[in-house]
């Protein structure tokens, strides 16, 4: 009986997926994804550069709020030396899925000035442990995750924009001066990623 229980415990642990590489200090998981405009992007293309990854979904009210408020658009302009990439890991069978051509049109209409990549299998989202839209990651010039969490300290969106603490903005400022983002990890908020 004990042997059977031990075997079942080992099998159940083996069935649980593990995703290394999504904690601060870990080497960022590599990916090669196609943007909504058909261009292919790989994390390896940006070796030696600071990269921001933003999990997004136009059908998520929180993502849409930040798009309307130009939160990420303005931050990406302020830090023009940084590579900013959106990633949409929404499953094509989900009711929240938007076809790439439709999402490209939506992005252009809303002034999104950076590439948004499609991750329809969710493999990249799972590798990073992306849980919400938005969920933000800063990858430093050495290819390590320097920040993992929320865009700011205002989940309900009730504060005036100038009163919000921009975790990603502060993290990028720290990276620019060779310091570690503080905080380096926060709790992401928004809609769940629809894998």
Taking 70 as the threshold, does the pLDDT of residue 46 lie above it?
Answer: yes
**pLDDT score for 22:** 82
Cross-strand pairs, 84? 52
Q: Is 90 exceeded by the pLDDT of residue 17?
A: no
Pairing of strands 83-88, 116-118: parallel
Residue linked to tokens 């050495």: 142
pLDDT tens column, 91-130? 999 999 999 999 999 999 999 999 999 999 999 999 999 9
Q: Is the pLDDT of residue 13 over 60?
A: no
For the record, the structure tokens of 160 come out as 């005036």
Residue 8, pLDDT > 50, answer no
Percent of the chain with pLDDT over 90: 89
Q: Taking the chain, what is the end-to-end CA distance rounded to the nearest angstrom?
A: 38
Look at residue 103 in the predicted model and tell me its pLDDT: 96
Q: Look over the chain and give the mean of its residue pLDDT values, rounded to a whole number.
A: 90
Q: Do 189 and 55 contact (CB within 8 A), yes or no?
A: no
Q: What is the pTM of this model?
A: 0.88
DSSP 11-66: HHHHHS---TT-STTSBPPP-EEEETTS-EEEGGGGTTS-EEEEE--TTSHHHHHH
Residue 79 makes CB contacts below 8 A (sequence gap 6+) with: 52, 169, 172, 176
pLDDT of residue 2: 40
Name all domains of the chain by residue range, CATH numbers in brackets. Answer: 21-192 (3.40.30.10)
């Amino acid at each position: 009986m004990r042997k059977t229980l031990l075997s079942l415990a080992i099998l159940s642990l083996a069935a649980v997926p593990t995703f290394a590489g999504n904690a601060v200090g870990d080497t960022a998981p590599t990916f090669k994804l196609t943007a909504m405009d058909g261009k292919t992007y790989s994390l390896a293309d940006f070796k030696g550069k600071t990269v921001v990854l933003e999990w997004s979904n136009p059908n998520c009210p929180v993502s849409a709020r930040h798009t309307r408020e130009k939160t990420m658009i303005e931050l990406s302009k302020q830090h023009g030396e940084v590579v900013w990439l959106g990633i949409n890991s929404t499953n094509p069978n989900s009711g929240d899925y938007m076809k790439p051509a439709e999402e490209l049109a939506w992005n252009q209409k809303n002034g999104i000035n950076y590439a948004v990549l499609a991750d329809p299998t969710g493999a990249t989202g799972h590798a990073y442990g992306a849980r919400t839209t938005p969920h933000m990651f800063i990858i430093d010039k050495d290819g390590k995750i320097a920040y993992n969490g929320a865009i700011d300290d205002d989940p309900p969106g009730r504060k005036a924009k100038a009163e919000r603490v921009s975790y990603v903005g502060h993290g990028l400022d720290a990276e620019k001066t060779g310091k570690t983002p503080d905080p380096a990890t926060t709790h992401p908020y928004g809609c769940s990623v629809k894998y």
